[in-house]
A and B are shown apart, each in its own frame.
Chain A
Amino acid sequence: AQSVTQLGSHVSVSEGALVLLRCNYSSSVPPYLFWYVQYPNQGLQLLLKYTSAATLVKGINGFEAEFKKSETSFHLTKPSAHMSDAAEYFCAVSVISGTYKYIFGTGTRLKVLA
């Protein structure tokens, strides 16, 4: 069975500092992995996706993530945090076994300090 674990429900960084949000997955088959961002009172916006091509994936707004099979990780990074990055971030793994569904982690709320 597939699952996703996001370490750290809350992360605070200073503006301009490195952002690192952690995601570990469990999957019996090669996974498709995603990062979504959710701003207050809004739906989910796709940041980036891994679909078995390049292991370093670049997304929108300067975010990127690296797929590491040996560590079963897909951590999200951004070199320099901006105030507008404050939001909730969700890692998800997709499951294709009859039904194509996403399994989400519990989310990490990012706070950016001035």
Chain B
Amino acid sequence: ETGVTQSPTHLIKTRGQQVTLRCSSQSGHNTVSWYQQALGQGPQFIFQYYREEENGRGNFPPRFSGLQFPNYSSELNVNALELDDSALYLCASSLGTGIQYFGAGTRLSVL
């Protein structure tokens, strides 16, 4: 157990809808990173939050947005869902540039 919890575990949405995924970071960690893992692929970096500020972004469109709260938990929001957004979304927490510890993920299916 890493102490990183994600909710929900599974989600089914239809194309065009919006979704919010949640992540509680490990105690003492101030950095949260989000990754998208498509079927059969390695995780791809979406963005990172450090002390409530976005601290870098991967090659994802603006409809992917996030938030980090004062307790360092985080949300990933995706607007105007597309079929290709179907994936496992992983959250990882760390203390600054320390090792990233991953949650079990949220599996999103877009129909």
Chain A contacts to B: CB under 8 angstroms: 4, 34, 36, 41-46, 49, 90, 92, 94, 96, 98-107
A46 touches B99 (CB 8 A): yes
Q: State in angstroms the CA–CA spacing of A41 and B35 once bound together.
A: 16
Q: Please report whether the interface of chain A is mostly helix, strand, loop or mixed according to DSSP.
A: strand
A contact residues around B45 at 8 Å (CB): 101-103
Top 5 closest pairs, chain A to chain B, by CB:
A99-B56, A104-B42, A44-B102, A43-B104, A100-B97
Number of interface residues of B (CB under 8 A): 30
Can you sample 17 A-B contacts with CB below 8 Å? A41-B107, A42-B105, A43-B6, A45-B102, A46-B99, A92-B42, A98-B55, A99-B56, A100-B31, A100-B33, A100-B48, A101-B45, A104-B43, A106-B40, A106-B41, A107-B40, A107-B41
B contact residues around A36 at 8 Å (CB): 102
Chain B, 70-111, contact with A by CB distance < 8 Å: what is the 0/1 string?
Answer: 000000000000000000001010101101111111010000
Q: Which of B56, B57, B101, B105 contacts A46 (CB 8 A)?
A: B101
B56 touches A98 (CB 8 A): yes
Q: State in angstroms the CA–CA spacing of A42 and B105 once bound together.
A: 7
A contact residues around B104 at 8 Å (CB): 42-43
A contact residues around B57 at 8 Å (CB): 99
Chain B, 54-66, contact with A by CB distance < 8 Å: what is the 0/1 string?
Answer: 0111100000000
Q: Which of A42, A90, A99 contacts B42 (CB 8 A)?
A: A90
A contact residues around B35 at 8 Å (CB): 102, 104
B contact residues around A45 at 8 Å (CB): 2, 102
Query: Which of A41, A44, A45, A105 is packed against the most chain B CB atoms within 10 Å?
Result: A44
Q: Which of B42, B55, B97 contacts A105 (CB 8 A)?
A: B42
**Please, which residue of chain A has its CB at the minimum distance from the CB of B41?**
A106
Taking the closest CB of chain A, its distance from the CB of B107, in whole angstroms, is: 8
